[in-house]
Amino acid sequence: MTLSGSLLTRIAVLILVVVFFQIGVVSEVPVFGVTVDLSPLVVAFVGLLCGSTIGAATGFVVGLLVDLALVQTLGVTSLIFTLIGYWCGRLRELRDPQATLTPLLVGAAAAAAAAVGYSLIEFMLGVDAPVSLELLRQIVLGVVVDTIFALPMWLVVRRSLEPGLPDDPRRRRRRAYTTGGLSPLSRS
Amino acid sequence: MYDKTVRRRRAVLVLLVVLSLGLLTAYFGEAPSGRLHSVQRGFLTVVSPIQDGANKVLKPVRDLFSWFGNTLHAKSQLAEVRKQNDILRKEVIAERADEHGYHELLGLYHLDQLSLNSYRPVTATVVGKSPNLWYSTVVIDKGTSSGVQKNDPVVNEEGLVGKVAQAASDGAVVDLITDSEVGVSARINGTNATGVVQPKVGEPNDLVLQYLPGGTAANRGENVVTSGTLESPDDSLYPPGIPIGQVSSEDEESGFKSVNVHPLADLHNLNVVQVLTYTQSSKPARLVGLQSSLPSAGQSNPGSGEGNPLTSASTGVGG
């Protein structure tokens, strides 16, 4: 997918708004004892809408912003989010899933990948914390809570980016079939 | 054409992954005064006023969400708090009498205790908090321009919150007491036995008071407070008597005793904190200078204030 000026602006604004909203508001409000993390969701959904290259680049930028703003180890979040954005983009390019529950599943997978990815990298960097039941509980609860927020987040991301997206021929064809416009049956 | 697209896609991925790994390696390997850390501090300086503004604008939204959770939480705690209130009222009456006697003795012996009066509290708003389980830090909107320095103690109305890890001109990063880098010299209120409060490994929301002498009495619900002593020369000099948490259970092994401590401060819900700053010529500054200028006398016995003549000497009776 080619990156138009309009799409680039929309993605940049979306990233900034989500990152600051995440840091300023969402992080302050625990849900079921864990904090909702919108950033992997936004990366996954940008990948799902715009493809792997844009998804990976968005993941890198979001990760870098999060690491810079929260004074975390630079590169950790960028690495995880780059891979999440890329994989979600590849999912769109290879399968182009259209089911209503796709954002829910993709959101859950992205949240799980982010949580497990952080843990793995932190273990590799030498953080002294064994895998405990409490840790697993926090990760699972975090993924569940992020999944709850996946659908609203998907609507926000899609509404923000859709006007800037080029018309996809595959989707145009599918829409035409479902509305009867190009169906061979309608002509007979 | 297809091959070109595939090649470009893979090249972008590889480039971004290599860039991330490069950043990670360089950041992890460099000293806190290094270039990437400076960039991060610079970013914090630029962003913290924006975060502060966003924080203030979005406060009503946050308060609305918090209200639901807090109401449910408060209702469940009401009965327990009423019971505690009755007990505390009796204790306050008894302690007022003790306090009166204590101040008389202080005046009599001209003892100069290290107290909160030696510090200048700077009120700060929390403008950044990581959603990640692995980072026990928050970002506040006050920095060196307000007198905030590295290692300054940070408290809120409930008790000890942590210490300043890094300070930029208009913002600072606070390591919470649940961070693995933080260790606080502490004692169980009402006893003289000191230990070190550290995060409980594997349970990021709980603390453990370690290196208490064997046989120290510790009952469930007793308060753990700062001892007012230093654990190491580069540590923070927390004033004595700041509440840290309550004893939840105890454990004794190999001559030392450790007790599990549940923090009093709700570290998931920090909005406003106070940084206890002090001037270079103040008493805390002199004590920290004294500690760092002397040989590390008590490091062989890290948890015990009794084994460290310096720490006992520096703050009088250790809280």
A122 confidence band (pLDDT: 50, 70, 90): confident
Domains along chain A?
5-159 (1.10.1760.20)
As a whole number, mean pLDDT of residues B204-230 equals 80
Mean residue pLDDT across chain B? 77
Least confident segment among A69-73, A94-98, B116-120, B271-275: B116-120
Q: How many angstroms separate the CA of residue B13 from the nearest CA in chain A? A: 7
Residue A124 pLDDT > 90: no
As a whole number, mean pLDDT of residues A90-99 equals 85
As a whole number, mean pLDDT of residues B160-184 equals 87
Q: Is A152 on the interface with B (CB under 8 A)?
A: no
As a whole number, mean pLDDT of residues A144-173 equals 83
pTM for this structure? 0.63
pLDDT 10s digits, A69-91:
888 889 999 999 999 999 999 99
Residues of B in contact with A130 (CB under 8 A): 201-202
Residues of B in contact with A68 (CB under 8 A): 39-40, 43-44, 47
Q: Is B173 on the interface with A (CB under 8 A)?
A: yes
Is residue B139, in this structure, part of any structural domain at all?
A: yes
Residues of B in contact with A59 (CB under 8 A): 16
Q: Which helix (H) or strand (E) holds B226?
A: strand B223-226
Interface test with A, best of B61, B134, B268 (most A CBs within 10 A): B134
DSSP B144: G
As a whole number, mean pLDDT of residues B59-77 equals 77
As a whole number, mean pLDDT of residues A150-156 equals 93
The dihedral formed by the CA atoms of A66, A63, B27 and A87, expressed in degrees to the nearest 10: 160
Contact B19 A36 (CB under 8 A): no
Interface test with B, best of A60, A62, A71 (most B CBs within 10 A): A71
Is residue B13, in this structure, part of any structural domain at all?
A: no
3 state DSSP class of B223: strand
pLDDT 10s digits, B186-200:
888 777 778 888 887
Is residue B214, in this structure, part of any structural domain at all?
A: yes
Residue A163 pLDDT > 60: yes
B24 vs B213: which has the higher pLDDT: B24
Q: Is B32 on the interface with A (CB under 8 A)?
A: no
Q: In this complex, which of A63, A70, A83 lies closest to B130 when CB atoms are compared?
A: A70
Contact A24 B127 (CB under 8 A): yes
Residue A140 pLDDT > 70: yes
Q: How far apart are CA B292 and CA B299, in angstroms?
A: 12
Q: How far apart are CA B285 and CA B281, in angstroms?
A: 6
User: What's residue A107's pLDDT?
Assistant: 94
Nearest to B242 by CA among B226, B222, B261: B226
User: What's residue B266's pLDDT?
Assistant: 81
Domain range for B79 is 37-319
Is residue B44, in this structure, part of any structural domain at all?
A: yes
Least confident segment among A80-94, A100-114, B56-70: B56-70
Q: In this complex, which of A22, A60, A74 lies closest to B131 when CB atoms are compared?
A: A22
B301 confidence band (pLDDT: 50, 70, 90): very low
Q: How far apart are CA A130 and CA B177, in angstroms?
A: 19
Contact A53 B50 (CB under 8 A): no
At B176, list the tokens: 């919470």
pLDDT 10s digits, A28-53:
777 777 888 999 999 999 999 999 99
Written as one letter, the residue type at B107 is: G
Q: How far apart are CA B48 and CA B60, in angstroms?
A: 19
As a whole number, mean pLDDT of residues B244-248 equals 87
Mean residue pLDDT across chain A? 84
Is residue B301, in this structure, part of any structural domain at all?
A: yes
Q: Is A122 on the interface with B (CB under 8 A)?
A: yes
Is residue B24, in this structure, part of any structural domain at all?
A: no
Q: How many angstroms separate the CA of residue B53 from the nearest CA in chain A? A: 9
User: What's residue A182's pLDDT?
Assistant: 54
Give the rounded percent of residues in chain A with a pLDDT score beyond 90: 46
When divided into structural domains, chain B yields a total of 1
Residues of A in contact with B204 (CB under 8 A): 129, 134-135, 138
Helix axes A102-124, A39-50, angle to 10 degrees: 120
B319 vs A141: which has the higher pLDDT: A141
Interface test with B, best of A43, A62, A74, A131 (most B CBs within 10 A): A74
Q: How far apart are CA A16 and CA B50, in angstroms?
A: 12
Residues of A in contact with B23 (CB under 8 A): 64, 74-75, 78
User: What's residue B312's pLDDT?
Assistant: 38
3 state DSSP class of B139: strand
As a whole number, mean pLDDT of residues B280-307 equals 55
Is residue B136, in this structure, part of any structural domain at all?
A: yes
User: What's residue A175's pLDDT?
Assistant: 53
Residues of A in contact with B139 (CB under 8 A): 69-71
User: What's residue A91's pLDDT?
Assistant: 92
Residue B208 pLDDT > 80: yes
Q: How far apart are CA A72 and CA B182, in angstroms?
A: 16
User: ipTM score of the complex?
Assistant: 0.82
B229 vs B17: which has the higher pLDDT: B17
Contact B204 A135 (CB under 8 A): yes
